[in-house]
Amino acid sequence: MDPQTALFQQHRQRLFGLAYRMLGTPSDAEDVLHDAWLRWHAQDTDALDDPEAWLVTVTTRIALDRLRRAKTERAHYAGPWLPEPLTVDADQPEAQLERAESLTLTFLLLLERLSAEERAAFLLREVFDYSHAETAAMLEISEDACRQRVHRAKQRLREDRPRQAMLNIDTQRRLLERFMQALQQPDMPTLRALFAEDAMSVSDGGGLARAILHPLHGAERLARLYMQIALQQQRHGGVRYEIHQLNGMPALFGWHGDTLISASWIDDDGERITAVHALRHPGKLARLAAVTKSGASTSLH
């Protein structure tokens, strides 16, 4: 491997982690890295004082352009849009770092509420630990403007953060197991008891699969919804459920034969489910199923 390629590979995981958190889709993050590599390959790297800063700056700016376009496209998306998972059952020691909140699907969805510029500033400063001065230079803005963007982002995230207990894998796994049992043996009181009074359900079908087009609120309504889903699944030969880990947190997979038909993750308050996020988009599920069957995973920083 030539020195230029070796240097890019040295920073690749960090660059991918930034691009993925910016865009919420692994394939888009890979495209950003491809474009960054082409610019890196054309650059006289010997003339760079700080290769890492150059790479992070270019990756951020490419991701920003893509995110601005994506926000326009997502405004016309059929129903809610949910981020696409990255990892399945990653249990290597270095993956512990990736189980931090900034990589969970719930947090990636929360980042969607920020403007593209706020998201970039927040991630560079608060997740990747660049100083305000370094972040401002990467974004070509003043340091005061950078501080304002980061402040607005943190304030908005605090205001919009869903009510939930501290992230706890064991608690979420236990609730998902109870949810899985209730779907396999449908019973209204059991389902009703699983959900907090103000629980919410969100489904991403992208107009290509049956899914609720607007978030559904309330424990009673969620219990009726999942009771209906469970009974329909029983009439059509049943669904096999498995619990895996997506982006470091438990998720419930539903299989009909060899086809993955849903992948759901939850928020909780420590005792009950406060939100169910269900991926039903066939394209996203097909990519996720391929990763699951191959046992592949991606580690990043």
Q: By the 8 A CB rule, do 119 and 153 touch? A: yes
Residue 300 backbone class (left: φ over 0; alpha: ψ -120 to 50; beta: rest)? beta
Structure tokens at 225: 């919804």
Do 134 and 195 fall within a single domain?
Answer: no
Q: Same domain, yes or no, for 283 and 136?
A: no
* Rounded average pLDDT over 70-85: 94
CA-to-CA distance for 42 and 20, rounded, in angstroms? 24
pLDDT band at 89 (very low <50, low <70, confident <90, very high): low
- Determine the pLDDT at residue 256: 93
CATH code of the domain in which 249 resides = 3.10.450.50
Q: Which of 210, 193, 196 is nearest to 164 (CA)?
A: 196
Same domain, 10 and 137: yes
Q: Which two tokens stand for residue 223?
A: 């219990």
Query: Are 129 and 235 members of one domain?
Result: no
What average pLDDT is seen over the chain? 90
| pLDDT in the model for residue 96 | 46
Same domain for 9 and 146, yes or no, is yes
Q: Mean pLDDT across the stretch 49-72?
A: 96
- The predicted model scores a pTM of 0.91
Using CA atoms, how far residue 16 sits from 51, 294, 298, in Å, is 16, 21, 10
Q: Which residues constitute the domain of residue 11?
A: 3-159
Classify residue 301: in a domain, yes or no. no
In 10 A of CB 37, how many CB atoms? Answer: 19
Question: When comparing pLDDT for 26 and 291, which is higher?
Answer: 26
Model confidence over 100-144: pLDDT tens digits? Answer: 688 899 999 999 999 999 999 999 999 999 999 999 999 999 999
Q: Is pLDDT above 90 for 293?
A: no
Task: Clarify whether residues 223 and 105 are in a common domain.
Answer: no
Helix count and strand count (H, E) for the chain? 12, 6
Question: Which of 159, 185, 215 is the endpoint of a domain?
Answer: 159
The answer on pLDDT for 97 being more than 90 is no
pLDDT at residue 90, as a whole number: 52
| pLDDT tens-digit map of 182-235 | 999 999 999 999 999 999 999 999 999 988 899 999 999 999 999 999 999 988
Residues 252 and 286 reside in one and the same domain: yes
pLDDT tens figures, 140-168: 999 999 999 999 999 999 887 766 656 78
Whether residues 38 and 75 share a domain: the answer is yes
Return d(Cα 29, Cα 59) in angstroms, integer: 9
- What confidence score (pLDDT) does residue 262 get? 96
Is residue 92 very low, low, confident or very high in pLDDT (cuts 50, 70, 90)?
A: very low
Select from 132, 159, 186 the last residue of a domain.
159
N- to C-terminal Cα separation, the chain: 22
Last residue of a domain, one of 159, 192, 208: 159
